[in-house]
């Protein structure tokens, strides 16, 4: 560490104070901010041993996936340094003795809290380091009486982790802000919502989801951030609200139960949350309440992002149903600040986390860019032209997909290995509508991943209500409640919806960002979409009664990234056209 003391200046709060070894102090020291006392009191708890660390993690004086791991690792560094300075039974008699102690301490620290994977990954990395160090010294026949090489290795590892956490949070913040802004008009202010606490208090500094919000503010684009109270532990009300006030971000606190109404009445551009463990398919465990946010975001057509460093991925788990969910004590529900607010006898279920299925996630923001899901390989329009019978509810229950048989998939191992075309463009696209010459430029291949939100039977009416107001006259309806919507095909190039109103029927087509059966390796070129529209318009000029009117909507949020391409066939109830429905 170059600084004497680890005091991240990124966000007004310091979740911990780590003082490395220096000429003034023989060994490093650690103190953690007691988050249970916030927002009323700011006090630090000394952490001298792994027992101290276990207790502050278990009692949630410190919490948040990255911070739990950092505190655990720093406690190893601090206690090992202290032990290496003493002789006798409290010290380390040899390198092997230190390695054996470390092994036990790691097993013990892993029992503190089960859900956040960061702790487990960090502990396993420390063990690998220990094995490598011991092996190296065995091999060279070095003085194994001396535990110093292992102690130094653990200290270096802990200090590096502290530094890297802040760096990766800043990168997450910037990638996330770029992804959200890519869906908005230039200069447009952003309204976002976040849940739990993912800020400086959950990390070594800056934060993950709250880091994205900090970066939006830095860009001058944050209109408002709504934070949920996050019952039952109130991390949102106590900690996120505190961070927002400290950093003077435009924040509004709401209860968890207000989110759907907020979306319906005030509009929201995106939700950004953190993660405690992300399975290989993108299913994400995060603070209880996250799942219901994702469900209502889907319903309201709001982008739902998870922001997390690579250390939050657990590729050993194929899906989220394998994630262990911590159950917290009943008193967290029945009491508020020690005051009983529910009958003591009532049975209580208090899971600390829930799992959001990957199919509800717009993108996972990491320090290396944003991972976007893609519709899994499927049949062509023709094969999938099935009349809608089952309800959305029945479909969701049957296979967890939203929309007709369309399962969104993440290729997380591919992304982590640097394969695939998942990254958002490094510069933000120009919001201006493409000029005619650009429209037919075959070299103009969009990134398949920037902010694409797939339409579904559930959100197409909302899209029309929000963005295509004049279509309602055509339909002869005032709201989504007065139209009937069915998805008739989810092929390789387009998603197709029939919207039937009292007066007319409209076909809504949304282009996919790439050719589905091939995957992201074959992005759909813009000219493919524009040629289709141009051809239809041309046909319409020659045979107006046979070809429906085509309209394009340039709304980025719903489009091939950077370019909207939605097509409408507004059909009168002319029998010649009705076969399409």
Interacting residue ranges for ligand MRU, rule: CB under 6 A: 63-66, 116, 196, 198, 202-203, 208, 235, 274-276, 286-287, 352
Question: Smallest Cα–Cα separation from 225: which of 518, 353, 236?
Answer: 236
The C-alpha atoms of residue 237 and residue 208 are separated, in whole angstroms, by 18
Determine contact, residues 560/526, Cβ cutoff 8 Å: yes
The C-alpha atoms of residue 252 and residue 342 are separated, in whole angstroms, by 28
Minimum distance of ligand MRU from residue 562's CB (angstroms): 29
Minimum distance of ligand MRU from residue 308's CB (angstroms): 7
Minimum distance of ligand MRU from residue 410's CB (angstroms): 18
Tokens 């005091």 belong to 7
Minimum distance of ligand MRU from residue 111's CB (angstroms): 16
In the complex with ligand MRU, the residue whose CB is nearer, 81 or 203, is 203
- Name the maximum alpha-carbon separation found in the chain: 96
For 46, 63, 66, 227, 335, the CA distances from 29, given in Å and listed in that order, are: 8, 19, 19, 34, 35
Determine contact, residues 259/325, Cβ cutoff 8 Å: no
CA 553, distance to chain mean position in Å, is 28
In the complex with ligand MRU, the residue whose CB is nearer, 259 or 493, is 259
The C-alpha atoms of residue 581 and residue 579 are separated, in whole angstroms, by 5
The C-alpha atoms of residue 130 and residue 341 are separated, in whole angstroms, by 49
In the complex with ligand MRU, the residue whose CB is nearer, 116 or 360, is 116
Question: Smallest Cα–Cα separation from 50: which of 9, 104, 92?
Answer: 104
Question: Smallest Cα–Cα separation from 370: which of 552, 171, 232?
Answer: 171
CA dihedral 199, 202, 204, 205 (to 10 degrees): 10
Minimum distance of ligand MRU from residue 307's CB (angstroms): 8
In the complex with ligand MRU, the residue whose CB is nearer, 283 or 439, is 283
Determine contact, residues 514/520, Cβ cutoff 8 Å: yes
Residues 210-225 as b or e (16 or more Cβ within 10 Å = b): bbbbbbbbeeebbebb
Minimum distance of ligand MRU from residue 208's CB (angstroms): 4
Q: In this structure, what token pair is assigned to residue 16?
A: 């911990």
For 159, 227, 353, 458, 487, the CA distances from 476, given in Å and listed in that order, are: 65, 38, 45, 20, 20
In the complex with ligand MRU, the residue whose CB is nearer, 286 or 494, is 286
In the complex with ligand MRU, the residue whose CB is nearer, 60 or 517, is 60
Kind of pairing, strands 566-571 and 549-553?
antiparallel
> Does residue 165 carry a catalytic annotation?
no
In the complex with ligand MRU, the residue whose CB is nearer, 81 or 234, is 234
In the complex with ligand MRU, the residue whose CB is nearer, 235 or 447, is 235
Contacts of 14 (CB under 8 A, 6+ apart): 7, 8, 33, 200, 205
Active-site position among 269, 276, 314, 411: 276
In the complex with ligand MRU, the residue whose CB is nearer, 179 or 493, is 179
For 55, 183, 563, the CA distances from 424, given in Å and listed in that order, are: 41, 12, 14
Minimum distance of ligand MRU from residue 321's CB (angstroms): 18
The C-alpha atoms of residue 176 and residue 181 are separated, in whole angstroms, by 9
What burial class does residue 162 get, using C-beta atoms within 10 Å of its C-beta: 0-12 exposed, 13-18 middle, 19+ buried? buried
Q: In this structure, what token pair is assigned to residue 40?
A: 């009323």
Minimum distance of ligand MRU from residue 276's CB (angstroms): 5
The C-alpha atoms of residue 554 and residue 491 are separated, in whole angstroms, by 22
Residue closest to ligand MRU when measured from CB atoms: 274
Determine contact, residues 294/356, Cβ cutoff 8 Å: yes
In the complex with ligand MRU, the residue whose CB is nearer, 287 or 567, is 287
Minimum distance of ligand MRU from residue 112's CB (angstroms): 11
Q: Active-site residues: which are they?
A: 276
């Amino acid at each position: 560490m170059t600084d004497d003391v680890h005091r991240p200046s990124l966000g007004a709060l310091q979740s911990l104070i780590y003082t490395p070894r220096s000429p003034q102090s023989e060994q490093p020291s650690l103190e953690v901010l007691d988050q249970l006392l916030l927002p009323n009191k700011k006090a630090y708890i000394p952490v001298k041993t792994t027992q101290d660390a276990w207790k502050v993690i278990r009692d949630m004086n410190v919490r948040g996936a990255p911070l739990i791991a950092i505190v655990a690792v720093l406690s190893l560094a601090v206690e090992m340094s202290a032990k290496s300075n003493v002789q006798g039974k409290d010290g380390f008699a040899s390198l092997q003795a230190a390695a054996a102690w470390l092994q036990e301490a790691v097993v013990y620290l892993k029992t503190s809290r089960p859900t956040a994977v960061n702790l487990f990954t960090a502990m396993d990395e420390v063990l690998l380091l220990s094995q490598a160090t011991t092996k190296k010294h065995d091999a060279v026949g070095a003085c194994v009486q001396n535990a110093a090489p292992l102690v130094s290795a653990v200290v270096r590892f802990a200090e590096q982790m502290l530094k890297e956490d802040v760096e990766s949070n800043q990168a997450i913040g910037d990638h996330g802000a770029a992804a959200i802004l890519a869906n908005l008009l230039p200069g447009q202010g952003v309204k976002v919502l976040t849940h739990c606490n993912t800020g400086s208090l959950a990390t070594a500094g800056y934060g993950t989801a709250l880091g994205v919000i900090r970066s939006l503010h830095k860009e001058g684009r944050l209109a408002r951030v709504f934070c949920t109270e996050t019952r039952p532990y109130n991390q949102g009300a106590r900690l996120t609200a505190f961070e927002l006030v400290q950093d003077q971000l435009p924040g509004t606190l709401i209860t968890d139960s207000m989110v759907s109404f907020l979306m319906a009445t005030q509009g929201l551009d995106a939700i950004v949350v953190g993660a405690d463990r992300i399975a290989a398919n993108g299913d994400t465990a995060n603070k209880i309440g996250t799942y219901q946010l994702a469900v209502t975001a889907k319903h309201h057509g709001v982008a739902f992002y998870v922001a997390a460093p690579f250390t939050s991925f657990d590729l050993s788990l194929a899906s989220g149903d394998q994630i262990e969910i911590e159950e917290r004590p009943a008193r967290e529900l029945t009491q508020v600040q020690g005051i009983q607010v529910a009958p003591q006898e009532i049975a209580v279920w208090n899971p600390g986390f829930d799992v959001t299925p990957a199919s509800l996630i717009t993108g996972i923001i990491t320090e290396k860019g944003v991972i976007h899901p893609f519709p899994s390989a499927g049949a062509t329009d023709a094969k999938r032209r099935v009349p809608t019978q089952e309800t959305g509810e029945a479909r969701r229950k049957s296979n967890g997909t939203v929309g007709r048989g369309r399962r969104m998939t993440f290729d997380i191992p591919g992304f982590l290995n640097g394969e695939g075309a998942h990254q958002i463009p490094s510069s933000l696209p120009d919001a201006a509508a493409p000029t005619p010459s650009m429209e037919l430029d075959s070299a103009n291949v969009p990134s398949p991943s920037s902010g694409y939100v797939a339409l579904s039977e559930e959100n197409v009416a909302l899209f029309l209500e929000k963005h295509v107001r004049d279509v309602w006259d055509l339909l002869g309806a005032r709201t989504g409640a007065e139209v009937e919507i069915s998805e008739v095909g989810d092929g390789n190039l387009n998603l197709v919806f029939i919207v039937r109103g009292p007066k007319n029927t409209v076909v809504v087509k949304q282009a996919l960002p790439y050719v589905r059966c091939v995957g992201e390796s074959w992005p759909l070129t813009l000219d493919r979409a524009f040629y289709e529209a141009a051809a239809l318009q041309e046909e319409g000029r020659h045979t107006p009664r046979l070809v429906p009117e085509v309209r394009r909507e340039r709304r980025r949020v719903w489009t091939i990234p950077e370019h909207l391409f939605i097509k409408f066939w507004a059909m009168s109830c002319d029998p010649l056209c009705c076969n399409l429905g």
